[in-house]
Amino acid sequence: MKKNKTLVQKNTWWIILFTAPVFVLLLMFFVYPLISLTITSFMETAGFGSATFVGFGNFSRLFNNSVFRMSIRNNLIWAGSAAFLQVPLALLIALVLARQPAGWRFFRSAYFLPNVISLVALAMLWRAVYNPYYGILNGLLNLLGLDHLSRNWLGELETVLPALIISYQIYVGYFVIILYAGTLSISKSLYEAAEIDGANVFQQEIYISIPALRGFILSSVTLAVAFAFRQFETTFLMTAGGPANQSSVMALFMHRRMSAFQNGMASAVGILLVIIGIVVMKGLQVIFGMRSAAIEDAQQ
Amino acid sequence: MNRKLFIVSFVLIAALLASVSVFGGGSRETAPGEVVITWPTHWVGEMGAGPIIRELVDEFNALHAGEIRVVLEAHPEADAAEDVIRTRLAAGQPPDFFLFKLGPTTEVYYETGLLMDLTDELERDGWGATFDPGALAVSTINGEVRSLPIETALTPIWYNTRLFEEAGIDEFPTTIDEFWEAADRLLEIGVVPTSQMTGGANAWTSMLWYTHLVGSIGGPDVWDRAWDDPAFEEAAGIMKRMYQEYTTRDAIGAGPGESSAHFMNERTAMFVNGPWFVSNIRDNAPDVHAVTRLAPAPSAGDYHGHQVGWLLTSAAAAHTDDPARRDAVVQWFRFLTHPDNIKRQSLGRGSLMPVAFEIGPEDNVDPLQQQFIEAGNNATFLIDGIEAVMPVHVVQEFGQALSAMVLRDLPPSEFVALMRAAAE
């Protein structure tokens, strides 16, 4: 302990020197904008002109706005789908890949591929998939004799959000890679021992892999939920929040307010986005913390 | 601590931080004394304005080699280009030269002091007299001209005469009852009557249909009574019927690409757009181009023969205290808006420009563009498009309110209520 303290004291200037760039960048690109955002959220601005202090006026207008309430709801649905659909799907794929079935190297790359393709290109591709006239989805339904199920997927109130969320699952590969990396850290001997004890593959995954991947799963869920709260590009490119604002999300709502130079209201959305994000993240940590404790108790 | 190593590290880290500001700002002057004018624009590519603008830029750069250079910064999508400009203006760093839509929201650009004042320049050598006085008047705010009119919108109804003939319709309908009758006949031969769209930044095609109808019911001053005049509700009712019975399956959510593609592929028989689309249809669907005619919208009220038209595109430049830069930008402005070059832009892409130029018998005027000129001349009155009279957030809500009315089967009064709420 004493040795460590001395080491820190001895290298104080080095520590300051090497952390300074990150600290300065953090101040410039996070702390300063956050302070500025907070101040602007209490102002009413008309374009680039003077700003008037309006207290919580912008926040109250937001909560009275049905499109904003719809946007919050949609962000929560996106977050839920990230935690309960995307990450479990990624976990399933990672566990299968970890068993190294035939062609696993190809599939490992294939799942990750969409993450390196332009988001705009993929959005256009999905728009084509969902097109009611020439889209492959309706084409497939017609081929199967299910033409009564064919829809204007991105143009109907009931289907637009599920269609967007499903299209977003193409990015599952990002979490597959994280979770697959996690599976590499699990000792093979655990599986061998379980096999000798008569555990089948399913039991091995449930009682060995998943508990061992707890940290990786938490990281993946945290990231996936964070991405869900930042959701903008897919919605903007595929539906622009429509139809009838049914697929609007908070970031898109904020972008629209900014386009109209309603900077005070846009900043208020930004602040709420940060607050809701922090609350959800903290909630996840608590839930996973409790779950971890419960598993540890059970193991003891 | 190794003092030398510490100093070297300190210098390296300082250099790293300094590079962020140096390279982040970009380099403007590439040769000593050369002024570079960067123009972020969607007027790029191989269609529409792209080829002629590139040609003009190359010519200008060759004329001023080593002194002035215009650099096109490509943003192929119009809405994205507009966002870039807005963001840069909001950050207090306007682009050297840019195009924008002058309207109730963007009027604030004038108040920022970020735009170059061209008022005095226009009075020199009769430059200002080359512009259409009406368009120049729209560009004059508080006695200052900080943007120049570049392109005029005129958006009649486009219709496919071949499909009309096949359906047994001899003439474009002049009343709304005739319109419904014609629409039914088109449906009978398997043609969808109208292209519509609620997508994009402003539900362009449908917004124009709606404005035609509002003008027909409420007259030339109807926007002065927005959203209180019964015309807005009545026109919404007609739009609802068009969406429910006479448009494509993908109209809700469709963007300008889908909407125009239906017309160009003869899936629909009627469409609304401006003259800038002439070169697109001529190059991509020549058969349809040959059978396309223009008409005023059918009368839905007391007025008929009007057109939806307004100043669509304006050009502005960043204010500068550097006389050399200001002079360079003004030279570029003058070159771009010179009647000869305006003529090339207009004939090259079919657009209507607010600068007068002579057309001789040797000039190859596109027949469809000729129809646009006639449509403008024959119009009983012009009514502004929504984006010329409403703030951006109201324009953005149009497509959403329209889809809400259609999908939720709301009465037209609810559509008007949604628009009014957006405007408040």
Query: Would B367 be classed as within a structural domain?
Result: no
> Which are the contacts of A297, defined by CB distance < 8 A and separation ≥ 6?
none
Q: What does the pLDDT read at residue B89?
A: 86
Q: Are residues B210 and B173 in the same domain?
A: yes
Assign residue B40 the CATH number of its domain: 3.40.190.10
Which has the closest alpha carbon to B198: A247, A141, A128?
A247
Taking phi over 0 as left and psi of -120 to 50 as alpha, with beta for the rest, B319 belongs to beta
Q: What does the pLDDT look like over A92-117, one tens digit per residue?
A: 999 999 999 988 889 888 989 998 88
Q: How far is the alpha carbon of A91 from chain B, nearest alpha carbon, in Å?
A: 34
Query: Would A262 be classed as within a structural domain?
Result: yes
Q: Are residues B303 and B315 in the same domain?
A: no
Give the range among A56-65, A158-167, A241-250, B103-112 with minimum mean pLDDT.
Answer: B103-112
Query: Would B140 be classed as within a structural domain?
Result: yes
Q: Are residues B97 and B123 in the same domain?
A: yes
Q: What does the pLDDT read at residue B349?
A: 79
- Higher pLDDT: B30 or B60? It is B60
Average pLDDT of the segment spanning B294-298? 97
CA angle, residues A257, B205, B40, in degrees to nearest 5: 55
pLDDT category at B108 given cuts 50, 70, 90 is: confident
Partner-chain contact A132 B249, CB within 8 Å: yes
Give the range among A1-10, A184-193, B87-96 with minimum mean pLDDT.
Answer: A1-10
B408 contacts in chain A (CB < 8 Å): 157, 244
Query: Would B362 be classed as within a structural domain?
Result: no
Strand-pairing partners, residue B73, are: B40
Residue A297 has pLDDT above 70, yes or no: no
B419 contacts in chain A (CB < 8 Å): none
- Mutation target to probe the A interface, by most A beta carbons within 10 A, among B84, B400, B405 is B400
Is B62 within 8 Å of chain A by CB?
Answer: no
Q: How far is the alpha carbon of A75 from chain B, nearest alpha carbon, in Å?
A: 19
User: In this predicted complex, what is the ipTM?
Assistant: 0.84
A240 contacts in chain B (CB < 8 Å): 199-201, 399
Q: How far is the alpha carbon of B299 from chain A, nearest alpha carbon, in Å?
A: 28
Query: Would A174 be classed as within a structural domain?
Result: yes
What is the reported pTM?
A: 0.85
Residue B220 has pLDDT above 60, yes or no: yes
Is B104 within 8 Å of chain A by CB?
Answer: no
Domain count for chain B, please give it: 2
Give the range among A254-268, A283-297, B243-257, B405-419 with minimum mean pLDDT.
Answer: A283-297
Query: Would A41 be classed as within a structural domain?
Result: no
Is A160 within 8 Å of chain B by CB?
Answer: yes
Is A128 within 8 Å of chain B by CB?
Answer: no
Partner-chain contact B396 A46, CB within 8 Å: no
Average pLDDT of the segment spanning B81-102? 89
Query: Would B17 be classed as within a structural domain?
Result: no
Residue B19 has pLDDT above 70, yes or no: no
Query: Would A239 be classed as within a structural domain?
Result: yes
Partner-chain contact B253 A244, CB within 8 Å: no
Q: Are residues B292 and B387 in the same domain?
A: yes
Q: Are residues B393 and B316 in the same domain?
A: no
Q: What does the pLDDT read at residue B94?
A: 92
Query: Would B303 be classed as within a structural domain?
Result: yes
Q: Are residues B300 and B337 in the same domain?
A: no
Q: How far is the alpha carbon of B213 from chain A, nearest alpha carbon, in Å?
A: 22
Domain count for chain A, please give it: 1
Q: What is the mean pLDDT of chain B?
A: 91
Query: Would B327 be classed as within a structural domain?
Result: yes
Q: What does the pLDDT look like over A139-154, one tens digit per residue?
A: 999 999 998 999 999 9
Partner-chain contact B250 A155, CB within 8 Å: yes
Average pLDDT of the segment spanning A194-203? 93
Is B253 within 8 Å of chain A by CB?
Answer: yes
Assign residue A90 the CATH number of its domain: 1.10.3720.10
Q: Are residues B139 and B169 in the same domain?
A: no
Nearest CA in chain A to B404: A244
Q: Are residues B205 and B301 in the same domain?
A: yes
Query: Would B256 be classed as within a structural domain?
Result: yes
Q: What does the pLDDT read at residue B27?
A: 45
Letter string b/e over residues A100-119, b meaning 16 or more CB atoms within 10 A of that residue's CB:
eeeeeeebbeebbebeeeee
Q: What is the mean pLDDT of chain A?
A: 90
pLDDT category at B157 given cuts 50, 70, 90 is: very high
Q: Are residues B305 and B381 in the same domain?
A: yes
Is A204 within 8 Å of chain B by CB?
Answer: no
- Please, are residues B99 and B150 in contact by the beta-carbon 8 Å criterion? yes
> By residue range, what is the domain housing residue B404?
156-309+375-423
Query: Would A135 be classed as within a structural domain?
Result: yes
pLDDT category at B1 given cuts 50, 70, 90 is: low
Q: What does the pLDDT read at residue A262?
A: 87
Give the range among A123-137, B16-30, B244-258 with minimum mean pLDDT.
Answer: B16-30
B422 contacts in chain A (CB < 8 Å): none
> By residue range, what is the domain housing residue A245?
55-299
Query: Would A37 be classed as within a structural domain?
Result: no
Domain boundary among B333, B349, B365: B349
- Higher pLDDT: B6 or B286? It is B286
**CB nearest B1 (choices: A14, A155, A261):** A14
> Which are the contacts of A193, defined by CB distance < 8 A and separation ≥ 6?
none
